[in-house]
Amino acid sequence: MEIKMDMISEDKINSMGSMEKLRFVLDGVKSGNIVVLEGGLTPEEQMKLIELTMTEVNEDFPGIEMSGYPAKRGFLNLRRKTRLTVIGPAKVMRTIKKEKDLISAMISAI
């Protein structure tokens, strides 16, 4: 089985509203795709994504696997710069190692 990977630019992500962004990600993941977001999701958006995911968990869709680098502090610690976030179906993606600047994940076809 082939697994599709969608790599989304920061510009495209920034052009979407918050809910639109989360819906876009979750629809992609529920279709079986791995979604890679340049620039990543903020911690607040990630929490909303977990919440949205939980409303849609069922016997066929157990949820998501999500990995991302922690946000970087900006000037005077005032602005947090989010970085890359990877989201995939929990059935096919499994994070095997994660450090501050390293994500190692296993993708296995069903």
Partner 1 sequence: MKAKGRKGILSRLIKALFFRKRTAKIGIYGPPNAGKTTLANRIIHTFVDENEDMGVSTEVPHETRRAVRRSGIIIDLKSKSMQNPNSILDSKPGRRKAKAKLKLDVVDTPGLATKIDFHEFMAYGLEEEEAKRRAKEATEGVIEAIKWLDDIDGIVLLMDSTKDPYTQTNIVIIGNMEARGTPVIIAANKVDLADAAPQRIINAFPQHPVIPISALKGENMEELYEEMARRFR
Q: Does 36 bind partner 1 (CB under 8 A)?
A: no
Which residues fall within 8 angstroms of residue 82, CB to CB, at 6 or more apart?
Answer: 39, 40, 41, 42, 68, 71
State the binding string over 39-68 for partner 1 (x if CB under 8 A, else -): ---xxxxxxx-xx-xxx-x-x--xxxxxxx
**Least distance in Å: CB of 51 to partner 1?**
5
**The binder of partner 1 chosen from 1, 76, 99, 109 (CB under 8 A):** 99
Distance CA 10, CA 84 (A): 9
Site residue total, partner 1 (CB under 8 A):
31
Q: What are the structure tokens assigned to 11, written together? A: 């510009």
Tell me which DSSP letter residue 37 carries. Answer: E
Q: Say how many C-beta atoms besides its own lie within 10 A of residue 18's C-beta.
A: 12
Q: Does 78 bind partner 1 (CB under 8 A)?
A: no
Residues that bind partner 1 (CB under 8 A): 18, 42-48, 50-51, 53-55, 57, 59, 62-68, 70-71, 80, 90, 95, 97-100
